[in-house]
């Protein structure tokens, strides 16, 4: 595999064209209206795996969106890498904030703007192209399996079922995922942990119908006000979460771990400037890197009720709603947290309203090992391709299925992401740098090479 760079150089335009084609599919998993597009995307991914040389490629039906599977076994005695990614994307809303349409990929300033450009189409497709490169350019150093799903952005429930039912087929020595961020291209890094998630919805009901806010206002509890109060009460003056028992299972980091984490390059002024905020906010006693990487949080993702249309309508709404998620850290369990959240809301709700709490989905937090052959292979690959040792970091995001791979298949994961936090994942104008795309395609074959080499020695 001497000619990695040359192969990428020769096929640059095609690699980009194919990614653009993939980005044009509107594979939004949150809204069933996009189902036909989701199915087309899965078929496209399957075809591209076949074209690249994969065997046993299959679009596996589930109760939800299909999972694309493919593999190339060169020698059962050699180690096997299971590549996981997701072809589904977040809804593109709010549409009016996109400079160019979300499903018409556009290049500006060396960056590809499109929904899914970074999360995760741009990133998983690097693996498909790296696989093609290895097949065309000296062969695979180890076995490879692909599992690209279509429901990551909605909790991967059907993938969980698929994994449990396909343990033999998914047997591998490591799971390799590119769906996380690096600190920057100058400071390459590898995430070594992901937060868990518990996603809840709260419905508050006041009177049995919307009321005239003048005729009844002042005499009947307004569910929107009550909901806002309940939400506000869940953080104290130190921005600590007030739900009883919330922190019970959290394992605090040692001083050494905190020190290591805080030694990563981080510029608070740039961080604030990028987001256009005058001040940061968070749990007292922790740095920004600790707050996002190692501490549990509670966020309101959406809140609504009453009249939100054009102009003004005087109304005391019958109902108000909020979608609330909690990010979890090692040793917290998402089912338990969902239960104590529900109990807490039921307890603090005044008698003037009724509350209904439902659980959407969840996933457990994970810490990935840094003393494994696979992690060392990723370190070597990144170091060689970026000319700098990668810094281990803790990511704030969640990929719920990672904990399940470990629990069900007994396989640990390496998170070798090439995105940036500033790539606007889930936001309008999501982007991915073309440079990162090619850099990823060059780095991945090195991972396979070193993983095969180091596995043999160990």
72 closest CA partner among 161, 154, 140: 140
| Min CB(82)–ligand BES separation in Å | 17
| Min CB(45)–ligand BES separation in Å | 16
Which partner in Mn ion, ligand BES, none is near 180 (CB below 5 to 8 A by kind)? ligand BES
Q: Which residues, numbered 11-50, are part of the site for ligand BES (CB under 6 A)?
A: none
* Choices 56-64, 137-145, 148-156, 435-443 (CB under 6 A): range interacting with ligand BES: 148-156
| Min CB(294)–ligand BES separation in Å | 14
Helix 121-136, helix 35-52: angle, nearest 10: 20
The partner residues of 198 in beta bridges, in order of sequence, read 326, 362
In eight-state DSSP terms, residue 406 is: I
274 closest CA partner among 153, 422, 407, 414: 422
First to last CA, the chain: 22
132 is catalytic: no
The partner residues of 144 in beta bridges, in order of sequence, read 72, 81
Binding flag, residue 85, ligand BES (CB under 6 A): no
Q: Cα–Cα distance between 41 and 49 in angstroms, integer?
A: 12
- Which residue intervals of 252-366 are DSSP H helices? 255-262, 268-275, 288-293, 334-348
Please select the residue that binds Mn ion; options are 18, 120, 290, 364, rule is CB under 5 A: 120
What the block records as the tokens of 192 is 């070594």
152 is catalytic: yes
Binding flag, residue 153, ligand BES (CB under 6 A): yes
| Min CB(72)–ligand BES separation in Å | 25
Backbone angles phi, psi at 127, to 5 degrees: -70, -35
The size of the interface with ligand BES (CB under 6 A), counted in residues, is 17
Binding flag, residue 119, ligand BES (CB under 6 A): yes
Strand order in the sheet with 431-433: 106-108, 111-113, 431-433
| Min CB(194)–ligand BES separation in Å | 6
Q: Is the peptide bond preceding residue 120 cis, with omega within 30 degrees of 0?
A: yes
Catalytic residue among 71, 88, 153, 364: 88
| Min CB(122)–Mn ion separation in Å | 10
| Min CB(251)–Mn ion separation in Å | 26
Q: What would the x/- binding string for ligand BES be over residues 357 to 386, using CB under 6 A? A: ------x-----------------------
Please select the residue that binds ligand BES; options are 120, 149, 151, 442, rule is CB under 6 A: 120
Binding flag, residue 398, ligand BES (CB under 6 A): yes
Query: What is the full DSSP assignment across 62-105?
Result: -SSS-EEEEEE-S-TTS-EEEEEEE--B----SGGG-SS-TTS-
Please select the residue that binds ligand BES; options are 296, 397, 440, 445, rule is CB under 6 A: 397
Decide if 194 contacts 398 (C-beta within 8 A).
yes
Which partner in Mn ion, ligand BES, none is near 65 (CB below 5 to 8 A by kind)? none
Binding flag, residue 119, Mn ion (CB under 5 A): yes
Query: What is the full DSSP assignment across 133-185?
Result: HHHHTT--SSEEEEEEES-GGGT-HHHHHHHHHTTTTT--SEEEE--SEES-S
Element (H, E) at 124: helix 121-136
* Choices 200-208, 312-320, 366-374, 398-406 (CB under 6 A): range interacting with ligand BES: 398-406
What CA–CA distances, in Å, run from 295 to 247, 249, 323, 365? 9, 12, 20, 11
**Nearest-CB residue for ligand BES:** 397
Binding flag, residue 71, Mn ion (CB under 5 A): no
Strand duo 174-177 + 413-415: pairing: parallel
Please select the residue that binds ligand BES; options are 224, 404, 425, 434, rule is CB under 6 A: 425
Three-state secondary-structure class, residue 268: helix
Please select the residue that binds Mn ion; options are 88, 149, 179, 430, rule is CB under 5 A: 179
| Min CB(395)–ligand BES separation in Å | 4
Catalytic residue among 18, 151, 152, 290: 152
What the block records as the tokens of 110 is 């060396």
Decide if 304 contacts 317 (C-beta within 8 A).
no
* Choices 45-53, 177-185, 326-334, 402-410 (CB under 5 A): range interacting with Mn ion: 177-185
Q: Which residues carry out catalysis?
A: 88, 152
Site residues, Mn ion (CB under 5 A): 119-120, 179
Site residues, ligand BES (CB under 6 A): 119-120, 152-153, 155, 179-181, 194, 197, 363, 395, 397-400, 425
């Amino acid at each position: 595999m001497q000619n990695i760079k040359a192969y990428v150089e020769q096929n640059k335009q095609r690699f980009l064209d194919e990614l653009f084609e993939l980005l044009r599919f509107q594979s939004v998993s949150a809204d069933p209206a996009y189902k036909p597009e989701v199915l087309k995307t899965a078929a496209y991914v399957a075809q591209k795996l076949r074209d690249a040389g994969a065997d046993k490629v299959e679009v596996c039906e589930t109760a939800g969106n299909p999972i694309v599977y493919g593999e190339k076994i060169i020698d059962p005695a050699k180690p096997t890498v299971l590549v996981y990614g997701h072809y589904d994307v977040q809804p593109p809303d709010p549409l009016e904030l996109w400079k160019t349409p979300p499903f018409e990929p556009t290049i500006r300033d060396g960056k590809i703007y499109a929904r899914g450009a970074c999360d995760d189409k741009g990133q998983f497709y690097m693996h498909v192209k790296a696989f093609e490169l290895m097949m065309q350019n000296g062969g695979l150093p180890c076995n490879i399996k692909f599992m690209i799903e279509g429901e990551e952005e909605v909790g991967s429930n059907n993938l969980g079922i698929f994994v449990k039912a396909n343990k033999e087929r998914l047997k591998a020595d490591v799971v390799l995922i590119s769906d996380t961020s690096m600190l920057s291209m100058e400071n390459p890094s590898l995430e070594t942990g992901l937060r868990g998630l518990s996603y809840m919805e709260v419905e508050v009901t006041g009177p049995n119908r919307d009321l005239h806010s003048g005729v009844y206002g002042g005499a009947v509890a307004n569910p929107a006000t009550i909901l806002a109060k309940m939400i506000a009460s869940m953080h104290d003056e130190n921005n600590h979460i007030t739900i009883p028992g919330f922190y019970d299972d959290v394992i605090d980091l040692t001083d050494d771990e905190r020190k290591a984490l805080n030694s990563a390059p981080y510029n608070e002024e740039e961080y604030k400037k990028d987001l256009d905020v005058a001040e940061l906010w968070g749990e007292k006693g922790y740095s920004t890197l600790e707050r996002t990487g190692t501490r549990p949080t509670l966020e309101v993702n959406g809140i609504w009720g009453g009249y939100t249309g054009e102009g003004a309508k005087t109304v005391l709404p019958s109902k108000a709603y909020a979608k609330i998620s909690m990010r979890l850290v090692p040793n917290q369990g998402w089912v338990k947290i969902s239960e104590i959240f529900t109990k807490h809301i039921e307890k603090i709700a005044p008698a003037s309203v009724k509350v209904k709490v439902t659980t959407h989905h969840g996933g457990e937090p994970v810490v990935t090992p840094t003393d494994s052959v696979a992690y060392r292979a990723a370190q070597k690959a990144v170091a060689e391709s970026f000319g700098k040792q990668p810094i281990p970091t803790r990511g704030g995001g969640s990929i719920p299925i990672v904990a399940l791979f470990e629990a069900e298949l007994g396989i640990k994961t390496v998170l070798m992401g090439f995105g940036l936090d500033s790539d606007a994942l889930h936001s309008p104008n999501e982007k991915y740098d073309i440079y990162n795309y090619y850099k990823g395609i060059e780095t991945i074959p090195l991972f396979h090479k070193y993983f095969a080499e180091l596995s043999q020695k160990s």
